[in-house]
């Protein structure tokens, strides 16, 4: 009789324990673990072309241990999410969005929260909603509701992206219609050259102003009160841009790792000559992102080289190709320093080869830029590609707005040194013969 009572108590305790686990861990995770014994794939969608798909294996204790640590936060997020969904069904969208944003801050990798947020914002921003559905599926590929929502939105989002790329392409074609000797366009190109160097250095913390950057490049004179390092950063970017415009734009064949090393060699040549053009031999840390170790980096770079020379890359739109090449390189982070500047130059190399002007990512956009790179690390690189597309369109708009009907036949009034710099920085340069390339090299050599 006694053993029967013991058995009943044991069964009741077991049921209570199972109920507790299902509540805290989440029913979908238990089912997923039972089916596959593997935690959802966390490999970034953008990196599927770099590395083979990987799965992290967890046992039940690992899952429980991780969730018990965040037990209170997860429970709070779940309660708030349910309240937000109720408000949404009652028609109070603003409060629902605010509550779900709070949920995201509490539990940023909760697929239910991401899916719920996507559903609430979908009527006003289908692209952002689709992004949240995609992240939910990266975290938990078996999330049926997120999959259904994403399938519903996919065609509309693709149509919007295609419309944006077509609009940008039409502006590029409009820019190519402007005569190459147009004075206003030449002034815009020269100013863009200075601004490109100013902003890309500014993103990395350089404190030189635009006028100081322009003065250093035009006069070769130092600016008082500023460090030698900051001056040398300007000179390094100037040298790297000239190398791209003189040599790489017209060089036949795909971009390769040697080209990237040569760009980096010039970027860091004046500031860190011992590290310039060399891969790092130690582990680095970039915020929340931990790049591959020096030992693993070799296979990442090999895969990156294969991607650069693959047929698949030719099927991409130039803006997609440029943004992805930037992201892949900065993800690998192969250098001790200068990874961001080199990645942005690589991005512009792809754009310039396709007939686009070099894109300027302004230093004021630094935090959005970093945030979108982090979002790409989470599993959806499309927001970063759209950011590059917006910067491309902004750059095209600046060029087009600088040219008016009155200026179409005006004479150039640029300084002699400015004209020489401009000839080195010609995003529409189609020179292919050895004679033309030698002429450009000779002129640019006088400025270095």
Domain with residue 269: its CATH number is 1.10.3290.10
In a domain? residue 14: no
Specify whether 286 is located in the same domain as 402.
yes
The total domain count for the chain is 2
- The verdict on whether residue 62 carries a ligand-binding annotation is no
Specify whether 258 is located in the same domain as 124.
no
Specify whether 87 is located in the same domain as 221.
no
pLDDT at site 180 = 81
- The verdict on whether residue 152 carries a ligand-binding annotation is no
In a domain? residue 443: no
- The verdict on whether residue 340 carries a ligand-binding annotation is yes
pLDDT at site 160 = 95
- The verdict on whether residue 339 carries a ligand-binding annotation is yes
- The verdict on whether residue 341 carries a ligand-binding annotation is yes
Please report, for the domain that includes residue 97, its CATH number: 1.25.40.10
| Catalytic machinery residues | 333
- The verdict on whether residue 287 carries a ligand-binding annotation is yes
pLDDT tens-place string over residues 258-313: 999 999 999 999 999 999 999 999 999 998 899 999 999 999 999 999 999 998 88
Specify whether 153 is located in the same domain as 182.
no
- The verdict on whether residue 93 carries a ligand-binding annotation is no
In a domain? residue 13: no
Specify whether 259 is located in the same domain as 298.
yes
pLDDT at site 208 = 96
Rounded Cα distance between 339 and 362, Å, is 17
In a domain? residue 58: no
In a domain? residue 294: yes
pLDDT at site 73 = 78
Contacting residues for 71 by C-beta, under 8 A, at least 6 apart:
24
Specify whether 100 is located in the same domain as 212.
no
Specify whether 207 is located in the same domain as 342.
yes
pLDDT at site 63 = 34
- The verdict on whether residue 342 carries a ligand-binding annotation is yes
Only one residue has tokens 């090999």, namely 302
Specify whether 142 is located in the same domain as 191.
no
Specify whether 147 is located in the same domain as 188.
no
pLDDT at site 7 = 65
In a domain? residue 413: no
Specify whether 211 is located in the same domain as 339.
yes
pLDDT at site 438 = 31
- The verdict on whether residue 338 carries a ligand-binding annotation is yes
Specify whether 229 is located in the same domain as 100.
no
Specify whether 80 is located in the same domain as 215.
no
* Domain extent at residue 106: 71-157
- The verdict on whether residue 369 carries a ligand-binding annotation is yes
- The verdict on whether residue 224 carries a ligand-binding annotation is no
In a domain? residue 322: yes
Which residues, given as ranges, of the chain have pLDDT below 70? 1-5, 7-10, 12-13, 15-71, 404-448
pLDDT at site 416 = 45
In a domain? residue 367: yes
């Amino acid at each position: 009789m006694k053993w029967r009572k013991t058995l009943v108590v044991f069964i009741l305790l077991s049921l209570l324990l199972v109920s507790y686990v299902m509540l805290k861990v989440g029913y979908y995770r238990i089912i997923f673990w039972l089916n596959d014994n593997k935690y959802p794939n966390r490999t970034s969608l953008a990196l599927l072309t770099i590395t083979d798909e990987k799965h992290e294996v967890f046992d039940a204790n690992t899952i429980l241990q991780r969730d018990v640590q965040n037990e209170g936060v997860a429970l709070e997020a779940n309660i708030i999410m349910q309240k937000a969904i109720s408000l949404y069904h009652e028609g109070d969208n603003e409060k629902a969005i605010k509550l779900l944003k709070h949920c995201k801050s509490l539990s940023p990798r909760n697929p239910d929260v991401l899916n719920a947020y996507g559903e609430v914002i979908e009527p006003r921003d289908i692209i952002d909603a689709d992004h949240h559905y995609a992240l939910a599926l990266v975290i938990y590929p078996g999330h049926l509701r997120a999959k259904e929502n994403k399938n519903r939105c996919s065609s509309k989002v693709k149509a919007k992206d295609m419309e944006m790329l077509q609009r940008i392409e039409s502006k590029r074609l409009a820019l190519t219609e402007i005569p190459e000797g147009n004075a206003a366009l030449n002034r815009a190109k020269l100013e863009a050259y200075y601004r490109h160097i100013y902003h890309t250095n500014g993103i990395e913390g350089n404190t030189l102003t635009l006028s100081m950057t322009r003065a250093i490049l035009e006069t070769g004179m130092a600016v008082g009160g500023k460090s030698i390092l900051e001056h040398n950063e300007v000179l390094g970017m100037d040298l790297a841009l000239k190398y791209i415009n003189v040599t790489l734009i017209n060089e036949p064949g795909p971009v390769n790792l040697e080209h990237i090393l040569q760009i980096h060699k010039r970027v860091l040549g004046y500031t860190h000559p011992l590290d310039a053009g060399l891969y790092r031999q130690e582990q680095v840390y970039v915020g929340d992102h931990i790049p591959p170790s020096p030992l693993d980096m070799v296979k990442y770079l090999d895969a990156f080289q294969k991607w650069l020379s693959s047929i698949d890359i030719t099927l991409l739109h130039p803006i997609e190709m440029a943004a992805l090449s930037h992201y892949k390189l900065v993800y690998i982070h192969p250098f001790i320093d200068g990874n961001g500047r080199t990645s942005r130059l690589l991005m512009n190399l792809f754009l310039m080869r396709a007939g686009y002007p070099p894109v300027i990512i302004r230093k004021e956009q630094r935090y959005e830029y970093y945030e979108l790179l982090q979002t790409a690390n989470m599993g959806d690189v499309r927001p970063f590609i759209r950011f590059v597309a917006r910067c491309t369109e902004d750059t095209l708009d600046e060029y087009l707005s600088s040219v008016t009907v009155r200026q179409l036949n005006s004479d150039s009034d640029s300084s002699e040194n400015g004209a020489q710099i401009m000839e080195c920085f010609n995003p529409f340069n189609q020179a292919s013969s050895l004679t033309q390339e030698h002429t450009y090299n000779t002129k640019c050599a006088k400025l270095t």
